[in-house]
Amino acid sequence: MKSRITRRVWAGLLFSLFILQWTGAQELPTKEPGARPRPTYGLGDQSLSLSAGVLLPLFFQFTEDFRTAPTNLSLGGTASLKWSGYLSDATRLGFDFGGMFAFSPNSRALYMVPFLFTFDYIVYAFPFEVPLHASVGPCFTQLEELFHIDPMLKIGATILWDYDPAWSFGMNLHYWWIMQLYTSNPDSPPPSHSAFGNFLEISLVAEYRIR
């Protein structure tokens, strides 16, 4: 008699557990295996990215008559470190510090070190992000003994794949526009050499977000 009651109790408990499990499964939305929601960002969130790649010298455009000429520079290398702070889920401000090097036909080394203030507008297509960039600031340029500080504008886009909520990896495509403006200073090239330098950056990027 006692064993029969015990079996009935266990059967009732198992039936109750089955009902609770079935009810919970009906209330919770189903998810595809491995699915995760897109992370959102806001004021106070930050990002830190490291980029490295190549810089293609395109052409110079002279301010005197707007004619163009080849740069006669080799394929360059470039790297940069960028910090940004989110203003909202789609916008952020920050700083971009980096550098590039290339060589002239007579093996003279050209170095450029930009320090830029950046603005990003981000388009999401999860798990991808496409930050659209606009950056402006000074570029420190040196060719052997010649040193100059030039205004610089950099625009472009990055395609990022979100590996997880903290890390993303992708590629940059940036256009460098450098205003190499000279005065009558005897220690610098003549004003007729003033030109706009045009370069194209193609680089890989790893981005880490701090929340």
Q: Is the pLDDT of residue 117 over 50?
A: yes
Q: Are strands 68-69 and 46-62 parallel, antiparallel or unpaired?
A: antiparallel
155 falls in which pLDDT band (50, 70, 90)? very high
Sign of CA dihedral 185, 191, 196, 199: negative
Domains of the chain: 45-210 (2.40.160.20)
C-alpha count within 13 angstroms, C-beta hemisphere, residue 115: 3
Average pLDDT (57-69) is 87
Cis preceding-peptide flag for 186 (omega within 30 of 0): no
- Is residue 37 helix, strand or coil? coil
Sign of CA dihedral 179, 183, 189, 191: positive
Query: How far does CA 136 lie from the centroid of its chain?
Result: 15
Sign of CA dihedral 159, 162, 167, 169: negative
What is the per-residue pLDDT for 89? Answer: 92
Q: Is the pLDDT of residue 146 over 60?
A: yes
Measured distance CA(168)–CA(198) in Å, rounded? 29
pLDDT tens, residue by residue, 167-205: 999 999 999 999 987 776 666 666 667 888 999 999 999
Instruction: Tell whether pTM > 0.75.
Output: yes
Report which of 194, 199, 178, 200 is spatially closest to residue 67, judged by C-alpha positions.
194
C-alpha count within 13 angstroms, C-beta hemisphere, residue 61: 8
pLDDT tens, residue by residue, 13-35: 455 445 444 444 444 444 455 56
